[in-house]
Amino acid sequence: SQSVACPIFTVCINNFLSELFLSMSSPHREIENQMYVGEVKEKEKAKKQYEKAVSTGQTAGLVKASGRKMEKFSVSVNIAAESNVTFILTYEELLQRKLGMYEIITRVKPKSPVQEFKITANIYEPQGLSFVDTRATFLSNELLPLVQKTVTENKAHISFSPTLEQQRKCAGCDGTLIDGDFVITYDVKREQGLGNIQVHNGYFVHFFAPPALPRVPVNVVFVFDRSGSMSGQKMRQTVDALLKILKDLKEEDHFALIAFDHRIIPWRYSLTKASKENVSAAMDHVRGISSYGSTNINDAVLTGVRMLRKGRSEKQLPERSIDMIILLTDGMPNDGESHPEKIQSNVRSEIGGDMSLFCLGFGNDVEYSFLDVMSKENKGLARRIYEASDAALQLQGFYEEVSSPLLLEVDLRYPDNAVDFLTTKNFNQLFNGSEIVVAGRLNDRDLDNFMVEVFGQGVEDFNEKGQAAPVDLNVMYPNEGYIFGDFTERLWAYLTIQQLLEKSKSGSSDEKTNATAKALEMSLQYSFVTPLTSMVVTKPETEDGTDSPLIADKLTEGTSDMTLDGDPHFLIELSDRDDALCFNINDKPGTIFNLVKDPESGILVNGQVVGDKKIPPDGKINTYFWRFGILHQTLGVRIEVTTEDILVFQDNEGVKLLWSDSAALKGLNMDLSLEKDRSLTVTLKDSVKFVVLLHKVWKEHPYHRDYLGFYTLETHLLSPSVHGLLGQFYHGVKFEVSDLRPGEVPEKPDATMFVKGLELNVTRGWQRDFRNEMTNGIKVPCWFIHNNGTGLIDGDMKDYVMTSLFSAV
């Protein structure tokens, strides 16, 4: 075997890795194209599992975060002898708005032409798109026309798919033109002062970026390292960046320059108004700076703080303005006070919460965590500046982000009884072109009373209060639920984990321990690769030690649990394979489908669908099951279940039950248990058990209605002749999956399925099982069969349409 340590790759710090597929094959083995899903575990446990697999020559993969801020991930793959491995890594990302736009960067460095190369992006923004642009560092005149872009009101599609020959630097050569960054930038329309609130599956996220606010003047002290380690290119780039930054200062701003090595060298001993004359003099001073000496960060920063305090006490600075220090250094303190914890304490004490400290770490040798903690403790943030030809542009870009504050001390408030488990809702500042993001869980689905209030200090006091107008993604994009999934909940979880990791770096010993434990618990619960966890994928072993794939691809047959829930979503869970199949059925409202028909036992189950209250904006009406008919001819049992009530008939005697009650009925041939506003369980004598779930939707929802879910248990008690949309799968289904490959949606890979003598294109997705978790359900991974289950179900969807609720034809 051979171990391949993939190069560490850098991603945005707001990315989180959530899924890893390994597809393994060998031309000399019986089992080919087996696929395995990665599992997130505590870091040390994942490492041991990976090392155990490697020691026995198995194929295995390990993904771990490198660095406290999750900005780097490393992937290690051990490949068994004579094996081929394809791995698909899925990550999710909260796009950060900077300089008035969102940016999606795909870094591609294939080194040689690729047989199948494709970049696709689908953008969905309910607020509406104001612009969408694409660029790439490698786009030549020949490649530029291959970038396809389609933009509508609130959707965009971008694709780039050069052929093998189009990628080559020259005809017949191995060099490739594809080498660099493919970048998509866009922004959304912003009209509401309260921002945009999106709701999905019981969680909300609030994006706040009010338009047209005036800029708050800035009082900024630039504290920059000129020690010996900054000599050469770093010093030249720093000087170049400072010259451009000074040129961009506004006349209402005040500024100061402090260079430092083992000495502290201010340009002037107080802040200076950014007039043309003063800026020109400062630029002349910067041009004469050279590198020398050691590094005294402590005294340099404290000098800047005292300079700002003096300006305030002497009333030299505007009352409505923001004070900030920008520190640039490339190394660790080694002169004066050199203990990082002591420097952090000194700075925190001197600033006292009255100003912001932004820290820029230049190069690979800087102690970034020291700067990160120090900035976070003082209303700022840290940024790593990479040693490269564009370092000066990185410095300029950072200053451009923070040079135009709009609001200070921003506080977002929500109804106490409507939300809980909020992420941070108090922010030190809001800069022009950026965005504040708050997420939380909804307690009250009555969004008519969802009031939001935002306070802040700007050129004038900011106080915006009003009725929120949340956007329900299920309504806006009814066909894209498989994309949004539980992303809002996962976004809330990720922001919470980030904040817990920050808490774990400061505070008392108990506070650090508790924050770390909670962050680990949530990382495992939501399967996130964080500094506390890793994702490992190995070939599972059965009790006798033989290989048993987590997602089996050999031809197998197994028993299953059947689920029908949502817009009709059919889910076939194969318990002996730890896998599932799923498909949708779409037809006009009012259609009655046969779900189960067992002529030997006399059991029949039909279901009727209902449509939305009115046609949604996209013109597509969703359908849901709202009515079921359950018939057992042999036992004389007939049950009609609707979203309003339950009618039970046995031997011509009937009883009516309401969902608003709880009840239990026991008889010789049937047991029935009703849980108020939740579920109905029907157990037929010596036969199958059915569970019907009631999903109540906010009654004022403009489109959706209440609907029912249908679950089948103990299916093995039915005869081999059972059929129907669900019944045909009660005794298992044989299928084989191979050729795992990227799908249209990056986190949803496609594959080829062989089933019932047919070859189908399927997609790895998920459906929800609501039996144990009614609010949001439990996500069940499954292979999704397209086109109303064509190829998986026997015959055509129309073959299952019935004339009445208790009819067999």
Here the CATH number for the domain that contains residue 301 is: 3.40.50.410
Among the three residues 402, 422, 440, which one is the final residue of a domain in this structure? Answer: 402
Q: Tell me the range of 69-78, 171-180, 588-597 where mean pLDDT is highest.
A: 588-597
Residue 433, domain member (yes or no): no
Residue 449, domain member (yes or no): no
pLDDT (tens digit per residue) in 614-635 = 776 666 677 889 999 999 988 8
Residue 126 structure tokens: 């309910």
Q: Tell me the range of 408-412, 481-485, 646-650 where mean pLDDT is highest.
A: 408-412
* pLDDT at site 482: 44
Residue 477, domain member (yes or no): no
Indicate whether 455 pLDDT > 70. Answer: yes
As a 3-state breakdown, the chain gives helix, strand, coil percent values, each rounded to 5, of 20, 40, 40
* pLDDT at site 504: 84
Residue 107 structure tokens: 């870094």
Q: Same domain for 81 and 43?
A: yes
Phi/psi for 619 (5° steps) reads 85, -5
Helix axes 276-287, 233-247, angle to 10 degrees: 180
For residue 552, name the pLDDT band (cuts at 50, 70, 90): very low
SS3 per-residue string spanning 580-635 = EEEEECCCCCCCEEEEEEECCCCEEEEEEEEECCCCCCCCCCCEEEEEEEEEECCC
Phi/psi for 786 (5° steps) reads -80, 175
Indicate whether 678 pLDDT > 70. Answer: yes
Residue 504, domain member (yes or no): no
Pairwise CA distance, residues 541 & 58, whole Å? 12
Per DSSP, the three-state class of 708 is strand
Residue 790, domain member (yes or no): yes
Of 500-514, 586-600, 763-777, which range is least confident?
763-777
Among the three residues 484, 508, 538, which one is the final residue of a domain in this structure? Answer: 538
Of 7-11, 77-81, 275-279, which range is least confident?
7-11
Region 757-776: mean pLDDT is 79
Kindly state the DSSP code that residue 168 receives in the 8-state scheme. B
pTM, 2 dp: 0.65
Q: Same domain for 577 and 659?
A: yes
Spell out the residues 6+ positions from residue 313 whose beta carbon is closer than 8 angstroms to its own.
none
Indicate whether 14 pLDDT > 60. Answer: no
Q: Where are the beta strands (DSSP E) in 400-481?
A: 405-413, 419-420, 426-431, 436-442, 451-457, 461-467, 471-472
- For residues 472 and 454, the answer to whether their CB atoms sit within 8 Å is no
* pLDDT at site 554: 24
Q: Same domain for 739 and 605?
A: yes
For residue 55, name the pLDDT band (cuts at 50, 70, 90): confident
Q: Same domain for 181 and 280?
A: no
Q: What's the order of all strands across the beta sheet hosting 180-188?
A: 102-108, 180-188, 129-136
Q: Same domain for 180 and 276?
A: no
Q: Tell me the range of 202-216, 340-354, 533-547 where mean pLDDT is highest.
A: 340-354
Q: Identify the CA nearest to 698 among candidates 441, 443, 442, 446.
A: 446
Angstrom CA distances, 50 to 20, 25, 62, stand at: 14, 19, 7
* pLDDT at site 444: 66
Pairwise CA distance, residues 564 & 597, whole Å? 16
Pairwise CA distance, residues 57 & 533, whole Å? 24
Pairwise CA distance, residues 365 & 230, whole Å? 11
Region 504-513: mean pLDDT is 80
* pLDDT at site 618: 61
- For residues 55 and 30, the answer to whether their CB atoms sit within 8 Å is no
Indicate whether 558 pLDDT > 50. Answer: no
Indicate whether 68 pLDDT > 80. Answer: no
Q: Same domain for 254 and 132?
A: no
Pairwise CA distance, residues 663 & 738, whole Å? 48
How many CA atoms within 13 Å lie on the side-chain side of 611?
Answer: 13
For residue 772, name the pLDDT band (cuts at 50, 70, 90): low
Indicate whether 545 pLDDT > 50. Answer: no
Spell out the residues 6+ positions from residue 241 whose beta carbon is closer than 8 angstroms to its own.
391, 392, 393, 395, 396, 399
- Which carries the bigger pLDDT value, residue 550 or residue 301? 301
Q: For the chain, how many structural domains are there in total?
A: 3
Pair type for strands 254-260 and 218-225: parallel
Q: Same domain for 184 and 222?
A: no
Distance in angstroms between the alpha carbons of the first and the last residue of the chain: 59
H or E stretch covering 445: none
Pairwise CA distance, residues 528 & 491, whole Å? 11
For residue 546, name the pLDDT band (cuts at 50, 70, 90): very low
* pLDDT at site 22: 61
Q: What percent of the chain has pLDDT over 90?
A: 35
Indicate whether 157 pLDDT > 70. Answer: yes
Region 777-793: mean pLDDT is 88
Among the three residues 337, 367, 402, which one is the final residue of a domain in this structure? Answer: 402
Kindly state the DSSP code that residue 556 receives in the 8-state scheme. B
* pLDDT at site 547: 37
Q: Same domain for 222 and 176?
A: no
Sequence-separated contacts (24+) of 233-238 with Cβ below 8 Å: 233/387, 233/391, 234/330, 234/362, 234/363, 234/387, 234/391, 235/289, 235/290, 235/291, 237/391, 237/392, 237/395, 238/328, 238/362, 238/392, 238/395
Residue 476 structure tokens: 């806006």
Residue 223, domain member (yes or no): yes
What residues make up the domain containing 599? 560-800
Residue 456, domain member (yes or no): no
* pLDDT at site 173: 85
Region 99-103: mean pLDDT is 92
* pLDDT at site 723: 93
pLDDT (tens digit per residue) in 643-655 = 999 999 887 778 8
Q: Same domain for 257 and 141?
A: no
For residue 409, name the pLDDT band (cuts at 50, 70, 90): very high
Q: Same domain for 296 and 365?
A: yes
Helix axes 297-313, 340-351, angle to 10 degrees: 0
Helix axes 509-525, 487-503, angle to 10 degrees: 160
Residue 510, domain member (yes or no): no
Region 234-243: mean pLDDT is 88
Pairwise CA distance, residues 752 & 25, whole Å? 14
Pair type for strands 155-160 and 419-420: unpaired
- For residues 187 and 100, the answer to whether their CB atoms sit within 8 Å is yes
Indicate whether 670 pLDDT > 60. Answer: yes
* pLDDT at site 161: 92
Q: What is the DSSP string of 23-62?
A: EEE-TTSS--SEEEE-EEEEHHHHHHHHHHHHHTT--EEE
Distance of CA 785 to the CA centre of its chain: 24
Sign of CA dihedral 666, 669, 673, 674: negative
Pairwise CA distance, residues 251 & 276, whole Å? 8
Q: Same domain for 228 and 171?
A: no
Q: What angle do CA 120, 174, 184 make, to 5 degrees?
A: 20
Q: Same domain for 155 and 222?
A: no
Q: What percent of the chain has pLDDT over 70?
A: 83
Pairwise CA distance, residues 387 & 233, whole Å? 9
Indicate whether 523 pLDDT > 50. Answer: yes
- Report CA Rg, the chain: 31
Indicate whether 40 pLDDT > 80. Answer: yes
Helix axes 368-376, 340-351, angle to 10 degrees: 20
Indicate whether 52 pLDDT > 60. Answer: yes
